[in-house]
Amino acid sequence: MDFTVFAQQIANGLVNGMAYVLIATGLTLVFGVLRIVNFAHGEFYMLGAYITYFIGTLLGLDYIAAAAIAAIVVAGLGIAANKLIFWPLRRDHEFTILLSSLGLALLIANGGELLFGADPKYIESPFADEVLDIGTVTLTEQRVLVFAAAVVALVAVYLFIRYSRFGKMMRATAQNPNGAALTGINIKLVHAYTFALACGLAALSGALVGPTVMIFPTIGNWAVLKGFIVVIMGGLGSVTGALFAGLLLGVIESLGGGYISLGFMEAIGYAMIIAVLLWRPNGLFSTARGLR
């Protein structure tokens, strides 16, 4: 096929991949750092999208402001979820915590359906229909925004975890909560902040990805699965890994869909994940945990 199409497919893949990365960033925090498999992450993504929508349509605020408010509100919800569910369960078996997050996901998704209605909605964004021509490639401004925001969010999170004092406290808490408590770390606060940050990021992804598609109460399912795949494939807790994994997944899906079979697009993505994990069981950028 000709080069224009190829370049366009690569561009599509990169943007979709970046959307995955954006969703995965918050997951990396709770999953990679606190080792909590949070199935409700996708629902916070959904809430982010819906809150942006409602602030836009009901309060008439502009898109950017609505997205920012949504992120803050959902961060607050994340703190509440942590306080009610994840903090009390922190010492229980990982499967128990997983189930609680599954329950929370069901609760938010069904509550959302009840509250927001089953009808799909569309977030009006000034960038959604503005088309940019970059060379032979055509992209909407919204997609460029998704890409740029993901890069910024990712770099910020990376620097935060790696170098900030709080990041160190988060990692310590993840690896040994008792030891962390004995070192003087307020692990309750660490949990709360981590959830706030992760949920805020989830909401932001919802607000940014939202205008490229339609939103409806079950969009979270899709988001959380893609997010997990990216986190695992990148290597637990590795932000750089998530970046590469997300982009790789996006591009492979788009090329696979474009040149092999659209119906098998997802399956091709999964096949790649399987190949990656069999080749590097701990993900692309695993911090190899010694030899077992």
Partner 1 sequence: QQPPLRIALIGPMSGTGAFEGQLGLEGAQAMAAVINANGGIAGGRKLELLTYDDKGSPEDGVSAAKRAMEQDNVDMIVGGWFSAVALSMKEVTRDKIITVMTSSQHPKVTEEGHKYLFRLNATSAMMSEFYSKAICERIKPKSIAFINVNDDWGRLELENYTKLLTGCGIEVKGHEFYNRTDTDFTTALTKLKSLNADAIYVAAINTSQGATIYRQIKQTGYRGKVIASAGNMNPKLVELSGNSLEQVYSASPFTEDGSAPSLKPWLEQYRKSYKNEPSFIAALGAQAVQAIAFGVEAAGGDPRAYDKIAAALKSQEVPTVMGDLRFSDKGQANQAIHLVQIQKKQIVSVRD
Partner 2 sequence: MLKVEGLKVSYGHREAVHNVSLTVEEGELVTLVGSNGAGKTTTLKAISSLLRPSGGTITFDGERIDRMAPHQVIERGLVHVPEGRQLFPDMTVLEHLELGALRGRPGSMGFAERLRWVYDLFPILAERRTQRAGTMSGGQQQLVAFGRGLMANPKCLMLDEPTLGLAPIIVDTLADTIKSLHKSGITVLLVEQRVDLALRLADRAYVLETGRVVMEDSAQTLLADPRIKTAYLGL
Partner 3 sequence: MNINSNGQTLAIAAGLAALAVLPFLSGNAYLEHLLVLWMLYALLALSLNIVIGYLGELTFGHAAFVGVGAYTSAILSTQFGLPPLLGLPLAALVAASFGLVIGYAALRVVGPQFAILTLGFGAILFTITNHWVDLTRGPMGITDIPPMAIGPLTFTAARETYYLVLALVLATAWLCHALVTSRTGRAFLAVRENAPLAASLGINVFHTKLLGFVAATAIAGIGGAIYAHYIRVITPDIMGVHNVAALIIVVIIGGRGTILGPILGALVYIGLLESLRVAGPLRMVIFAALLTGTVVFLPGGLVSLWQRWRTSRKPEAIQPAAATSYPSAEGGAK
Instruction: Confirm if 52 and 66 have CB atoms less than 8 A apart.
Output: yes
Q: How far apart are CA 146 and CA 21, in angstroms?
A: 10
Closest CB 33 distance from partner 2, rounded Å: 11
What x/- string results for residues 230 through 269 when contact with partner 1 is judged by CB under 8 A?
-----------------------xx--xx---xx-xx---
Binding to partner 3 by residue 177, rule CB under 8 A? yes
Backbone angle region of 86, left / alpha / beta, with phi > 0 → left and psi within -120 to 50 → alpha: alpha
Within 10 A of 184 (CB to CB), how many other CB atoms are there? 7
Question: According to CB under 8 A, which one of 88, 103, 179, 281 is a site residue for partner 2?
Answer: 179
Question: According to CB under 8 A, which one of 73, 180, 197, 273 is a site residue for partner 2?
Answer: 180
Q: How far apart are CA 76 and CA 125, in angstroms?
A: 24
- Which one of 123-131, 145-153, 162-170, 177-185 is the stretch in contact with partner 3 (CB under 8 A)? 177-185
Q: How far apart are CA 292 and CA 288, in angstroms?
A: 10
Question: According to CB under 8 A, which one of 5, 103, 130, 168 is a site residue for partner 2?
Answer: 168
Nearest partner of 124 among 59, 173, 185, 168, judged by Cα = 59
Span 17-76, contacts to partner 1 by CB under 8 A: none
Q: How far apart are CA 12 and CA 225, in angstroms?
A: 20
Q: Which residues contact 239 (CB under 8 A, 6 or more apart)?
A: 25, 28, 154, 157, 158, 161
Binding to partner 2 by residue 91, rule CB under 8 A? no
Span 107-166, contacts to partner 2 by CB under 8 A: 165
Binding to partner 1 by residue 217, rule CB under 8 A? yes
Q: Which does 218 bind (CB under 5 to 8 A by kind): partner 1, partner 2, partner 3, none?
A: partner 1
Binding to partner 1 by residue 1, rule CB under 8 A? yes
Question: According to CB under 8 A, which one of 74, 215, 232, 249 is a site residue for partner 3?
Answer: 232
